[in-house]
C-alpha cells in the first residue's frame, strides 16, 4: 500500500512521461525539439521527486513506472 504522496507523485510522473512520449512522436518534433526537451526535463523532475520520496517513505515503494523509462 502506498501513501497518498506516493500515489500523487506516481500520477504526476506518469502524466509527464506520457506528455514527453507524445511530444517525441509528434510530427513537428523534427522541426522543433525544444518542446520535447522541455517535456523531458519536466518528466525527469517528476521522476526525481518520486524517487526521493520513495527513499524516505515508510510504506513499501511501488516502482512500476520508474522501470519503464530507465
Q: Is the pTM of this model over 0.75?
A: no
Q: How far apart are CA 37 and CA 45, in angstroms?
A: 12
Q: Which three cell numbers stand for residue 58?
A: 515508510
Question: What's the chain's average pLDDT?
Answer: 82
Contact by Cβ (8 Å): 20, 43: yes
Q: How far apart are CA 29 and CA 20, in angstroms?
A: 11
pLDDT over 90, % of the chain? 39
The H-or-E segment that residue 59 falls in is: none
**Per-residue model confidence as pLDDT tens digits over 21-55:** 888 887 777 777 888 889 999 999 999 999 999 89
Q: How far apart are CA 48 and CA 51, in angstroms?
A: 5
Average pLDDT over residues 3-22: 92
Amino acid at each position: 500500500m502506498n501513501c497518498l504522496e506516493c500515489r500523487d507523485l506516481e500520477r504526476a510522473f506518469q502524466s509527464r512521461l506520457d506528455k514527453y512520449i507524445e511530444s517525441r512522436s509528434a510530427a513537428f518534433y523534427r522541426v522543433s525539439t525544444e518542446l520535447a526537451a522541455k517535456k523531458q526535463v519536466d518528466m525527469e523532475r517528476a521522476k526525481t521527486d518520486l524517487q526521493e520520496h520513495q527513499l524516505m517513505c515508510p510504506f513499501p515503494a511501488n516502482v512500476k513506472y520508474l522501470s519503464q523509462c530507465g
